[in-house]
Structure 1
Amino acid sequence: MSQGNVRPGDAARSERKVFRISTLVNTVILALFASLFLMPVLLTAVNSIMTEQEIQLNNAALGQLDADTFVNLKWIPDTVSLEQFKTILIGTPQFLRMFWNSVFLVVPMILGQAVVASLAAYAFTKLRFRGRDALFYVYLLTMLMPFQVTMVPNYIVADWLGWINTPASIIGPGIFAAFGVFLMRQFLMNIPYAYIEAGKMDGAGHLRIFTSILLPMIKPGAAALVLLLFVDYWNMVEQPLIFLHDTIKQPLSVYLSRLRGDYIGIAYASSVIYMAPMILLFLNAEPYFIKGVQLSGIKG
């Protein structure tokens, strides 16, 4: 049969077959990448409920370059043991203190930046004043600078204010970071200015327009911002090491960075507890996060 005599039904079936094969290949590739990313998390969770002997055997396997040894990793413990968690939660008061240090540092930073970023983004998108865009791009430059560049001026200002070795030295710069303004501005740019004009026609001021009209519309963007900020601030190490001199005031991220190989079981259990808030937050905020990133216009 010549190409000119191919029936439409045959062409449609051929296209569906190609589509199914393409979908299958994409699914397999994504599954492989997902497995690679999830493997360290699963291995950490499994090792946290193993006995010390099993943990040592697994670590010995991880240290081998031999493929056969690596395949023999234990993914199911012979004996489930919560001894590591007991040691951390009951026998290590310093761990709980640093966990709450992390909470008391991260929560004000996230809430503060969410409020400041939303209001600033409103000004940069819906208010019309001279030099608005230039001011935004100057502010955006601070986001492009690495922490090592801004560390010295931040330290000088914190020292001048008497904030060194206090939570304020971490919380203050975190609240006014530029990333939140950038993300919320991207989101607010997709909201038509007609909403602002309608609010003004009803006699509403800027604060009323923001709180009553725009705020309900930017909840997905705010949820995406909160999740991204939580991951960033929960994992910070350099800032606490520099600005908080007393070990007892430092967050859990610093404590985990100091754990040595002699406490490998405790390190696994600590890591599981450390990851739990991020995982729970993502599972609860995932729909808002995906919608917020999509509507913000930011592409991966």
Structure 2
Amino acid sequence: MSAMAASSKKRLSRSLVGDITLFIFLGIFGAFMALPLVYTINNAFKPLDELFLFPPKFLVRNPTLDNFFDLFHLMADSWVPFTRYVFNTVLITAAGTVGHVVLASAAAYPLAKHRFPGSKVLFTIVVLSLMFSQHVTAVPNYVIMSWLGWIDSYIAIIAPALAASLGLYLMKQFMEQIPDALLEAAKIDGASEYHIFWQIVMPLVKPAWLTLVILLFQVLWGTDGGHFIYSEELKTMNYALSQILAGGIVRAGPGAFVALLMMSVPITIFVISQSNIIETMASSGMKE
């Protein structure tokens, strides 16, 4: 009876034609999503006469490195070297991203795996904080930074990134999926809480903190300092890009090349992290 019931079930299978059709369908959408990146790459190597063609040409006809050399000369003549903008951007991005991942994970672990008075209230506050946009909290953040004396310093950008509530929420939700029996077994074997956190919990929630790296890296890499940084020597690359574009159409070439530089690093980080996320989610799933 069971064999007859199993044979009567409809078997789902794809033919070779179906696989080819699906591949073509996904390929078309993938190519469409890649068009902005391809267009930006081509613009970076276009001479000025091709940049202002109408109707515009998608692909470059006469590739040149003049945009790169023009950018080099512009930055060489500026009051602050371009390497200083690069250093500021890398410092803010690295410190904010790494610090947020560590602090969010360390705060999420006791909320997910330890029951203590007020834990539910604290997590409710974290969830409620996700409802407020950055525009709502901009004025309170500025007042707090001014009171602490952190205006016009790196910490004014790094500190809000460290305290972002999205990372704490995401890490807590992932850590709750770790079997309690695994942690109890580690405790019986004599492992300390720090050993459990770094050697067991963090590797298992690798998809979560890699996702945080992607999201926060993109935000911090594109920051221009906003209303917190006023000194020219503390500005970021995004600010330098805006100053280049403010020079008018004669700086369209260097501006196109800087846009490529700004896009290349986040895309590289995303590609590397995405591969690790897929691999980790496929190989480290655990069920109690």
Both proteins in one fold, TM over 0.5: yes
Three-state SS of the structure 2 residue aligned to 1:160 is helix
In structure 2, what residue type is equivalent to 1:109? Answer: G
Aligned residues: 270
Three-state SS of the structure 2 residue aligned to 1:174 is helix
Contact 1:224-1:290 within 8 A present in 2 as well:
no
Please report how far the alpha carbon of residue 41 of structure 1 lies from its aligned counterpart in structure 2 after TM superposition: 1.4
| Partner residue in 1 for 2:259 | 271
The answer for unaligned runs of 5 or more in structure 2 is 1-6
Contact 2:151-2:229 within 8 A present in 1 as well:
yes
Q: Is 2:231 aligned against 1:246? A: yes
How large is the Cα RMSD of the aligned pairs?
A: 2.7
Contact 1:125-1:189 within 8 A present in 2 as well:
yes
Q: Measure, in 2, the Cα distance between the counterparts of 1:223 and 1:273.
A: 22
Q: Measure, in 2, the Cα distance between the counterparts of 1:144 and 1:293.
A: 28
Q: 1:199-214 alignment to 2 at 5 Å?
A: 199-214=186-201
Q: Measure, in 2, the Cα distance between the counterparts of 1:75 and 1:227.
A: 29
- Structure 1 residues 185 and 254, CA gap change in structure 2 (3 angstroms): same
Of the three residues 27, 47, 59, the one matched with 1:75 is 59
Q: Measure, in 2, the Cα distance between the counterparts of 1:151 and 1:296.
A: 39
- Structure 1 residues 265 and 153, CA gap change in structure 2 (3 angstroms): same
Contact 2:206-2:277 within 8 A present in 1 as well:
no
| Partner residue in 2 for 1:230 | 217
| Partner residue in 1 for 2:3 | none
In structure 1, what residue type is equivalent to 2:69? Answer: K
Contact 2:50-2:60 within 8 A present in 1 as well:
no
The answer for unaligned runs of 5 or more in structure 1 is 1-7, 63-72
Q: Measure, in 1, the Cα distance between the counterparts of 2:138 and 2:186.
A: 42
- What is the aligned-residue identity percentage? 30
Please report how far the alpha carbon of residue 276 of structure 1 lies from its aligned counterpart in structure 2 after TM superposition: 1.5
Please report how far the alpha carbon of residue 230 of structure 1 lies from its aligned counterpart in structure 2 after TM superposition: 0.8
Contact 1:184-1:296 within 8 A present in 2 as well:
no
Of the three residues 170, 180, 192, the one matched with 1:193 is 180
Three-state SS of the structure 2 residue aligned to 1:277 is helix
Of the three residues 45, 49, 56, the one matched with 1:53 is 49
Contact 1:221-1:292 within 8 A present in 2 as well:
no
Please report how far the alpha carbon of residue 51 of structure 1 lies from its aligned counterpart in structure 2 after TM superposition: 1.6
Of the three residues 255, 271, 290, the one matched with 2:240 is 255
| Partner residue in 1 for 2:70 | 87
In structure 2, what residue type is equivalent to 1:156? Answer: V
| Partner residue in 2 for 1:111 | 98
Q: Measure, in 1, the Cα distance between the counterparts of 2:35 and 2:237.
A: 23
Three-state SS of the structure 1 residue aligned to 2:226 is helix
- Structure 1 residues 100 and 182, CA gap change in structure 2 (3 angstroms): same
Query: Which has the larger helix fraction?
Result: 1
Q: Measure, in 2, the Cα distance between the counterparts of 1:122 and 1:291.
A: 23
Of the three residues 39, 43, 56, the one matched with 1:43 is 39
Deviations 1:169-217 (A, max 9, x none): 1111111111111221222122111122112212333222212222232
- Structure 1 residues 292 and 182, CA gap change in structure 2 (3 angstroms): farther
Contact 1:223-1:289 within 8 A present in 2 as well:
yes
Contact 1:88-1:95 within 8 A present in 2 as well:
no
